[in-house]
């Protein structure tokens, strides 16, 4: 028992971090992307220099219900920021992974224009 505790407490931090870090489950990412994008609407002028991007930090419960949406970087266009925030809120509850779990924290970067 002591040995097990020792393993868990010491040298295995690296392994534990790796297995708990988000693996790129592309199906999961695609499902969230589709839902948020599908819920987004923006009537402003898309003819902007570059590709304005807004970043939100999103927290969700294990049920997929969104409990926090926090803007961490503005696109510089307030109306676009608002439209994206609304799209994220409209998408609650977010889709789950195939195994029924969720990633509790998301960083969503929403770019105004489609990337060619």
Partner 1 sequence: MKKLHTLLFSATLLMGVAAHAQLRIDIAGVGSNQIPVAVAAFADESIAPQQVSSIIRADLERSGVFKVIDARQSISDKSNIDLAAFKASGADALVVGSVSKLADGRFDVRYRLLDTVKQGELSRMADAVAPRNTRLEAHRIADDVYEKLTGVRGIFATRITYVKQNPAARDYTLVIADADGENEQVAAHGREPIISPSWSPDGTKVAYVSFELRKPVIYVQDLVTGQRHVVANEKGNNSAPAWSPDGSKLALALSKTGNTQVFVVNADGSGMHRVSNSNGIDTEPQFSGDGQSLYFTSDRSGGPQIYKMGVNGGQATRVTFNGNYNISPRISPDGKTLAWISQRNGGFSLYAMDLASGQEQRLADGATEPSFSPNGKYIMYATKGGGRTSLAVVSVDGRIKQNLSTQAGNIREPSWGPFMK
Per CB under 8 A, residues contacting partner 1 are 1-2, 5-6, 8-9, 12-13, 16-17, 20-22, 29, 32-33, 36-43, 45-46, 51, 57, 83, 86-87, 89-90, 103-115
- Closest approach, Cβ 19 to partner 1, in A, equals 8
Strand-strand pairing, 105-111 and 53-60: antiparallel
- Closest approach, Cβ 74 to partner 1, in A, equals 16
Is 82 exposed, middle or buried, given 0-12, 13-18 or 19+ CB atoms closer than 10 A? middle
* Residues listed for the chain: 116
Angstrom distance (rounded) from CA 94 to CA 71: 18
Residues facing 71 on adjacent strands: 56
- Closest approach, Cβ 45 to partner 1, in A, equals 7
Residue 17 vs 98, nearer CB to partner 1 = 17
């Amino acid at each position: 028992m002591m040995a097990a505790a020792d393993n868990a407490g010491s040298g295995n931090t690296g392994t534990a971090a790796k297995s708990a870090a988000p693996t790129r489950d592309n199906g999961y990412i695609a499902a969230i992307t589709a839902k948020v994008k599908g819920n987004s609407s923006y009537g402003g002028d898309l003819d902007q220099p570059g590709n304005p991007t807004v970043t939100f930090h999103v927290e969700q419960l294990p049920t997929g219900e969104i409990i926090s949406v926090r803007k961490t970087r503005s696109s510089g266009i307030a109306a676009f920021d608002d439209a994206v925030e609304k799209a994220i809120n409209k998408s609650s509850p977010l889709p789950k992974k195939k195994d029924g779990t969720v990633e509790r924290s998301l960083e969503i970067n929403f770019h105004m224009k489609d990337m060619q």
